[in-house]
């Protein structure tokens, strides 16, 4: 069973991202764990990348337009359909409470390849990435990370 929007927006994994989700109402996620929601101040649709925590404003008039023009098309613009198809062909098919996650996260220089993908429970996946994102956000792009705990 899917959690309610209230349950999702008060999930324990969300706390691992610190204040990153403050002012957002999350309404959806994709198979990789990236989150989609509304900025409650501007009412703009936002994508939050689960790896790194970057916020991206999605320029659409409404949610239905976003679904019709960005998701439900042959070549979606908001996620990598080719990587998902390849993962599915390798029998990496997460359940509703799981994600496709990178074994070595991208924020730690993991490879963006199907051999670096696994199925992970949603709370564990987002909890770990939230902690990594929170620690890495203040670092300049390209900073070499030699260890993490």
E strands, 40-88, where?
45-48, 55-58
Whole-angstrom distance, CA of residue 140 vs CA of residue 72: 35
- The pLDDT > 90 percentage for the chain reads 58
CB count within 10 Å of CB 111 equals 12
Whole-angstrom distance, CA of residue 134 vs CA of residue 53: 8
Rounded average pLDDT over 99-115: 92
Reduced to 3 DSSP states, what percent helix, strand and coil does the chain have, rounded to the nearest 5? 30, 20, 50
pLDDT at 78: 64
26-52 pLDDT per residue, tens = 998 999 999 999 999 998 999 999 998
Indicate the pTM of the whole model: 0.87
What length is written for the chain?
149
Residue 61, classified by CB atoms within 10 Å of its CB into exposed (0-12), middle (13-18) or buried (19+), is: exposed
């Amino acid at each position: 069973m899917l959690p309610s929007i209230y349950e999702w927006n008060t999930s324990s994994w969300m706390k691992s991202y610190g204040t990153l989700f403050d002012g957002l109402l999350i309404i959806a996620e994709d198979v990789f764990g990236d989150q989609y929601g509304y900025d409650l101040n501007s009412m703009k649709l936002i994508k939050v990348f689960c790896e790194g925590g970057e916020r991206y404003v999605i320029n659409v008039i409404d949610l239905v337009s976003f679904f019709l023009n960005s998701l439900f098309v042959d070549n979606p613009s908001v996620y990598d359909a080719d990587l998902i198809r390849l993962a599915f062909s390798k029998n990496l098919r997460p359940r509703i409470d799981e994600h496709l996650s990178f074994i070595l996260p991208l924020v730690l220089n993991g490879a963006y390849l199907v051999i670096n993908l696994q199925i992970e429970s949603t709370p564990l996946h987002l909890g770990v990435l939230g902690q990594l994102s929170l620690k890495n956000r203040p670092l300049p792009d390209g900073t070499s990370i030699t260890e993490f705990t």
